[in-house]
Amino acid sequence: PVMQLLARTRFFGSGHPLSGMDPAALGAVYRGRAQFREPVAASGRGGSAKRAGRSRHEAERRQTIAERKRAELAAADAPAAKTSKEGDD
């Protein structure tokens, strides 16, 4: 109900940029009934896109505690398997 009341005012209803209801800032995309498309990311500053790419890459490199423990166990088991070759005695 509050959003309906706010939408009736000129400031919010017209989508003033400072109102937070700006369709471009919200990424509102409507093509018709049951037809949607993904909003295009705004390419404001080149640095922000570059920073987002670095953050995404960093998040992919990170490991959870369980993943780290699994890697440590695999590393601990790997040398034992390599020394069982013939001639390594």
How does pLDDT run across 39-85, given as a tens digit for each residue?
Answer: 566 555 556 677 777 777 777 778 788 888 888 888 888 765 555 56
Residue 33 lies in a domain: yes
Q: How many domains does the chain have?
A: 1
Statement: residue 37 has pLDDT above 80: no
Are the C-beta atoms of 68 and 60 separated by less than 8 Å? no
Predicted model pTM? 0.30
How large is the average pLDDT for residues 10-28?
81
Residue 85 lies in a domain: no
Q: Which domain holds residue 15?
A: 2-80
Residue 89 lies in a domain: no
Under the banding of pLDDT at 50, 70 and 90, the label for residue 24 is confident
Return the pLDDT at 20.
Answer: 82
